[in-house]
Structure 1
């Protein structure tokens, strides 16, 4: 995908050609009733390069390439026919063969599907003002949707890929035929599987399983519990998240050696719960770090400071 975008995006002339083709396509689709008109509708867009760190930038790069699939293919075909040098024509030919292959389209639509599911969680985790509980709820729904896609989503997704290929003049393979590895020589064939099995197991399931593994690794059960319990100390919105039971559970599970008596801790928490709305020093705090600094500065007798 990066190579295809680079071939088109490196030239201002090609970018301009891409925009002109989009405008023609939009007009044609409006005429036949495929697009509705309205303020702000049917705007042209450009191909987007994927960022090195922002996961969401890769998602929007995929979405734009899918939206500009026909326009990009036309620009590449024009470069093959009228490129000024052999190098340009060769780059365009390789990019055109790639974008017109069934496997490329399959992977493009699969990543759009899976990254569309994870996009909301990615955005939430990148926000400076982090709502931990909301992020953990998003984690649960993201994981659940990926698991549902793996279990029940294959046939609908596969049908969407076949439909996309049919509408863009891409030849789909015989899915019941054996899948040939490498150059197709008998000596290179290790597993006798069909093409349909290859795309379903080796790509579809593998991509989803990788996403689920990453989520489980980064947010295991203990980590999620720690984050949710810690959110009870969030001082924002006048300590709206303050929860004495959760704080005591946090201390009991993760700081058992730092607090000798949980009953004393609960008593101090109850005092603080009564006082913080009346103490100006604890108003308008935004982070747990600021809260701890205020405890130390005011010498508030709060046992958790010790840990």
Structure 2
């Protein structure tokens, strides 16, 4: 019996579902991102000046107006998602609410959609793939695994697809297997978005795994459907230290034990709490055993040892 998912669980894995942010890529520095956001927001500010010349925030300089607009929009997204974490809000509605908060009570929804469409930045300029991402995908593709994407995003559509193309990811992912919350208006950890990914990939939960950085969105979400969950935490060292100091095991020991437990139980047990709570960290969810992934990895290339 080999120390692999198939060897330890008797599950034959055919399909790999990936998160994107902090799984395949990471953000560049704020100094690189800020000018991109400012440039995108200038178009929105120009349109607002034409439609609402007396709009109060437009009395500020362009840079301050842009910062206020984007900050208020992101706040509206956060507040709305806090109330309904399983649904991705409509961008136009969020712009409408942001403008209302800033003093425009009845902004036309079509106009708000135009504003929203001007504000995404080119991800290919604001994100960088992890060093091992493409090499790992290459090797997994050669092993004939099927790939899908399940990602939470405010902006989707053609610009997002073009970013994936520019970053070289459409060599591995067919667009019809890319499930983006902005396009579907369903957010992880909603099991429905994972179900759509399984259907698009023509596979089942028993033959699939989900790889992501979010213990709640990726791990707990996938586990609601019985999908093996692989966690790539940003605070890997902290998680490894917790396991060593509090449970007396290494990450490798944890991984093997979890896969053997899966073999024994025969099913992936759903997490006891799969919604993120304010002030509750991933470490707290993990340490209280509310959410336990089947595997923990530090680098994407470690997948090659398990599949």
Report the TM range for the smaller structure's normalisation: under 0.3
Higher strand content, 1 or 2? 2
Higher RCO (Cα < 8 Å, 6 or more apart): 2
User: What's the TM-score, normalizing by structure 1?
Assistant: 0.25
User: What's the TM-score, normalizing by structure 2?
Assistant: 0.25
Q: Which has the larger radius of gyration?
A: 1
